[in-house]
Amino acid sequence: MALAGAKVDAMEVDLLKWVTGQTTSIIGGSPNTPFIGLFTTMPDEDGSGSTEVSTSGTAYARLNTYTSSKWAAPSTTTGVTSVVNNVAITFAQATASWGTVVGWGLW
């Protein structure tokens, strides 16, 4: 069942704002403090089975991306709502192999 309509659209926009640390109009509380992390194995649908890049001797760490200027306001084009970053998201240089990065996650 597909959901549609102004209320669902507003919730999509506010959810994207919340996960990128922006103030929302319908989700209460403080904005989320988003972190981006990298995966060498992507999680399953239920969130299990993932492998995040090792932090042991590699200089890898999740990046705190909480600054409103780092993220554009969500926009909807042809029925798809998305948000983009305004600045490059740069991780520290690896001091040992991170493996093959196949994806990222937003916390």
pLDDT at 52 over 90: yes
Pairwise CA distance, residues 52 & 50, whole Å = 6
**What average pLDDT score do residues 78-82 get?**
85
Percentage of the chain surpassing pLDDT 70? 87
For the whole prediction, is pTM greater than 0.85? no
The set of residues, in sequence order, having a beta carbon less than 8 Å from that of 45 and lying 6+ positions away, is none
Q: Which of 78, 68, 79, 81 is nearest to 11 (CA)?
A: 81
